[in-house]
Structure formats: structure tokens, C-alpha cells
Amino acid sequence: MAKKFRVAAQMFGFRDYIQTPEDVKKTLAKVKKMGYDFIQISGFGPIPPAELRKLCDEAGVEPIGAHIGLQRFREDEAGVIAECKALGITYVAIPWLPCKDYTTLAAWKKLYKEFEGYAKRFAKEGIVVQYHNHDFEFEKFGIKKGKGGKTILDMLYEGTEVLQSELDFGWVARGGYNPVNWAKKMKGRMDQVHFKDWGIVNGKPSFRAVGEGSIDWPEVIKACKAGGTKDFIVEQDTWEVTGNPFVSYAISRENLKAMGL
């Protein structure tokens, strides 16, 4: 029997439509109808985690992870753990960090230790901590006479062991790197990944629905499956071409189905 993989919608793309319980009900119904049986929590309004989980159950969609900001980890680690348990999830990703606060190699290394600390402590609670990259992590440190150096993201995963990668292939491509090569590089350490695509709109790089941009998704999917990925999470931050997140996410789902997911 062929292994089944979970395809989820990252709800940040619907942030303008999930601020109240009533809007959440309507939006989750639409997401379910598109063919997403799973979601990743992000962008919701001030709805208690237990209530949000109930709304998901009623809609027939299962939360499989969440994005929770670094500041929350720092200020209320126990609260983050409690929120994950209330949502019934075992994956939580640090989605972003203020990169301007980290201008030296020493500062980055200190941050890596902090991330690894979270990962180890959360693992004792049955929760996997991940880091979700953007493009700035592909900047290099240690360049000498215009040559060499290592990217911030390479050093992050060389400097940690328990921390997992929630590799975002759209941002890998935007950072100038090959998504397939990075999928192979993170083998065994990326249970969940983010799918978003890039194209040129009005002369500028812009988010596209998965399969409508420049990334070779069949090869990425092949490398992810070989690397142990379980969950493929669609995210579209903005939608310049369609003007509508519901249309863009639906296109992504249709295209992924055609690719066998």
C-alpha cells in the first residue's frame, strides 16, 4: 500500500478571514471543500486554543502544527506548551525572527543554543520544535576576499541536533538556492515542509500558487519523500495574480493533486 502524506493549508494566508469564531467556521468550510483535510495554525484572532480546536473538529479539518512567535517562547514557554496540547498538535515552528538584531556570528550562535534548548525541553513534552526560514538566512558569514563562507541556515542546523527544519522552499528559491538540493540536505530532519512558489509579476518577484511559478515541484516532492517528510503545507503570503487567497490555495491544491499529493 502506498504511503499517504498529509497536505495542509497554512492559515496565515487567510488571516483576514479568521479573526472571529463565525468567520473561522466559514473559512474552514471553504478550506475543507478545496481538499485540505489538515491545517497549520497561524493568523487566527484571539480565540482560545481549546475553542479553536473545537471549531476545527466541527469543520472536519485537523491541526497538525502551529506557528508561534519567538517572543512567546521567551516570555511564556510553559504557555506555548499548554497551547500546543490544547490544540492537540505535536509540531510547533518559530516562524520568523528579527534578523536585524543578529549582526555577528557570536549573536547567531547564541540564538542557535537558545533554539536547541527549546527543542530539547519541548521534546520531553512530546512536541517537536521547528524553525521556519525566510530568505535572509541564506546570507553568508566568513567570506574572505570574496570567496567561501557559510549561510546562516547551514550554521543553524550544523549547530543544533534536536531542532527540526520546517523548510520553506519558496524562500529557499528566493534566497538564490536550489530547493531540491536543500531538500536532500535536510534529509531526516524535515517532517513538515512549506510549499510556496515564485514568479515575476509587474517586473518584481511575487508569490504564486504552487505549480504556477518557477520551482520544480515533482523533483522537490521526490526529494522530500526520500528525506522522510510527512506533511506538505501550502502557504501563500500574498496573491497578486488572483487577488484572492481562496482562489490561490485552491489552485495549489489542484496542482498538487495532479502531482500525486
Q: pLDDT for 203-257, tens place per residue? A: 999 999 999 999 999 999 999 999 999 999 999 999 999 999 999 999 999 999 9
For residue 3, pLDDT over 80 is answered with no
Residue 155's pLDDT band (cuts 50, 70, 90): very high
In a domain, 104, yes or no: no
Residue 1, pLDDT above cutoff 80:
no
pLDDT at 2: 56
Q: How far apart are CA 153 and CA 174, in angstroms?
A: 14
In a domain, 154, yes or no: no
Rounded distance between C-alpha atoms, residue 89 and residue 153, angstroms = 25
Buried b (16+ CB within 10 A) or exposed e, 187-218: eebbbbbbbbbbbeeeeeebbbbbbbbebebe
Is residue 111 included in any domain, yes or no? Answer: no
DSSP letter for 16, please: G
Whole-number mean pLDDT of the chain? 96
**Which pLDDT belongs to residue 100?**
86
The number of folded domains in the chain is 1
Of 129, 125, 72, 135, give the one whose Cα is nearest residue 99: 135
Q: pLDDT of 239-252, one tens digit each?
A: 999 999 999 999 99
Exposed (0-12), middle (13-18) or buried (19+): which is 36, by Cβ within 10 Å? Answer: buried
Q: What is the predicted pLDDT for the residue at 4? A: 85
In a domain, 54, yes or no: yes
pLDDT for residue 98: 87
Q: In this structure, what is the dihedral angle of CA atoms 29, 242, 224, 190, given to the nearest 10 degrees? A: -70
Using only C-alpha atoms, what is the Rg of the chain? 18
Position 162 confidence tier, pLDDT thresholds 50, 70, 90: very high
Tell me whether residue 188 is in a domain: yes
73 falls within a domain: yes
Q: What is the mean pLDDT of residues 15-22?
A: 98
Q: What is the mean pLDDT of residues 182-192?
A: 98
Q: What is the CATH number for 191? A: 3.20.20.150
For residue range 163-181, what is the model confidence (pLDDT) as tens digits?
Answer: 999 999 999 999 999 999 9
- Does residue 235 fall inside a structural domain? yes
- 192 lies in some domain: yes
Tell me the average pLDDT across 175-201: 97
pLDDT (0 to 100) of residue 33: 98
Provide the whole-model pTM: 0.97
60: cell is 472536519
Which residues constitute the domain of residue 64? 6-97+124-139+163-258
